[in-house]
Chains A and B, each alone.
Chain A
Amino acid sequence: MATAQELSDFLAQVERRAFKQTAYAVRDDHAALDIVQDAMLKLAENYGARPVSEYPMLFQRILQNTMRDYWRRQKVRNLWTTLLSSFGGTGEDGDERDPLETLESDDNDDSDEPPAQLERSQTIAIIEAALQKLPARQREAFVMRYWEEMDVAETAAAMGCSQGSVKTHCSRAVHALAIALEKSGLKKS
């Protein structure tokens, strides 16, 4: 049985990655934080008696289930109603502004960064976007195998599929991400 200290160490070690991974899947930081919090509690409540070596697999499985539950109970926002009515005019104000200009002036953070750093953060943004666009299972397999460094068997157990599909999902994911990476390389030059 895992001790409280072991649980604490485990969570401290995975929490950031778990948050990012969830944010890639649900594309909302607030929701991702809620989901990770929920998953941590479930792990502590229901699996406290399991050995800590099983935690990576268990936690991943809980995380996937919590995401699914979250989507099921998510309330749908009716956002465009207000937005659509607001740009109904004949375009005297907002529409005439150059969108790129406005954005750049709003976004001063980037201009302080040295060029190499800026380039790198652009590459990261492209990779993150590509990761978000992957089919869910490919992203899950990739994250578990390469980010969480779980082995194929553990990943298969967490995903509830065969080891063969884990490998297929992984190599497809890497392939798609590699293409995105290459494209970002072309953009740089």
Chain B
Amino acid sequence: MVSAKLAALILLISLVSGFAYADSGVEQSWSQLSDSQRKVLAPLASDWDALRPWQREKMLDIARDYPKMNAQRQERIQQHLSNWSRMTPFERENARKKYQQFQALPPEKKLELRNKWRDYQSLPEEQRDALRKEHPEIYGKEDLEN
């Protein structure tokens, strides 16, 4: 009897999670997307099928929100999609947090940060790489073990 209950529970769980999965579109191949989704996600056309399910997470939400935006914002989304698709879930979560902080800044600080980013971009790749490696005190070991 217990095992019957268990089986029912497992069935229920797999159904629920199955639906959630299908809904978020992570399992859909490029050809299964709708025309409007494909239009928004066009920069990813050749990569979509190579993306891991967790990289596709919330991508379709972007396609959903896209029509609500003005032309300038839409253009930026198109430019940024491809790099976004290559970021790890952790990097994305980090980016979301930082984006919120960025939004909360006064305009002159936003500008300052954008200028800093431009400076940083002008460094040779090797130096940027060295800077990335210099990061240990920020990502301490104790943070990685939780």
Contact = CB atoms under 8 A, between A and B. Distances in A.
Interface of A: 25-31, 34, 68, 71-81, 84, 87-88, 91, 95, 99-100, 103, 107, 110, 121-122, 125-126, 128-129, 133-138, 165, 168-169, 172
Contacts of A125: 124-126, 129
B144 A137 contact: no
A84 B108 CA distance: 12
B141 interface: yes
B138 interface: yes
A138 B91 contact: no
Contacts, number: 107
B88 A172 contact: no
Contacts of B146: 73, 75
B67 interface: no
24 contacts: A25-B88, A27-B91, A31-B144, A68-B52, A71-B54, A75-B143, A75-B146, A78-B97, A79-B94, A79-B138, A80-B102, A99-B123, A100-B122, A103-B131, A125-B126, A126-B125, A126-B126, A128-B129, A129-B129, A135-B55, A135-B85, A135-B86, A136-B50, A136-B51
A97 B91 CA distance: 29
A134 to B, nearest CB: 7
B133 interface: yes
Interface in B127-146: 127, 129-133, 135-136, 138-139, 141, 143-146
A80 B129 contact: no
**Chain A binding site: helix, strand, loop or mixed by DSSP?**
helix
Contacts of A99: 119-120, 123
Given A122-B126, A134-B86, A169 B50 contact: yes
Closest 8 CB pairs of A and B: A125-B126, A74-B90, A71-B89, A137-B50, A135-B50, A76-B93, A80-B98, A80-B101
Contacts of A71: 54, 88-90
B143 A88 contact: no
For chain B, the bracket of interface size reads 35 or more
B15 interface: no
A91 B115 CA distance: 13
B105 interface: yes
Nearest to B127: A103
Contact of B97 (A73, A76, A88): A76
Contacts of A134: 86
B46 A26 contact: no
Nearest to A187: B124
A79 B102 CA distance: 12
Given A76-B97, A78-B97, A169-B50, A133 B125 contact: no
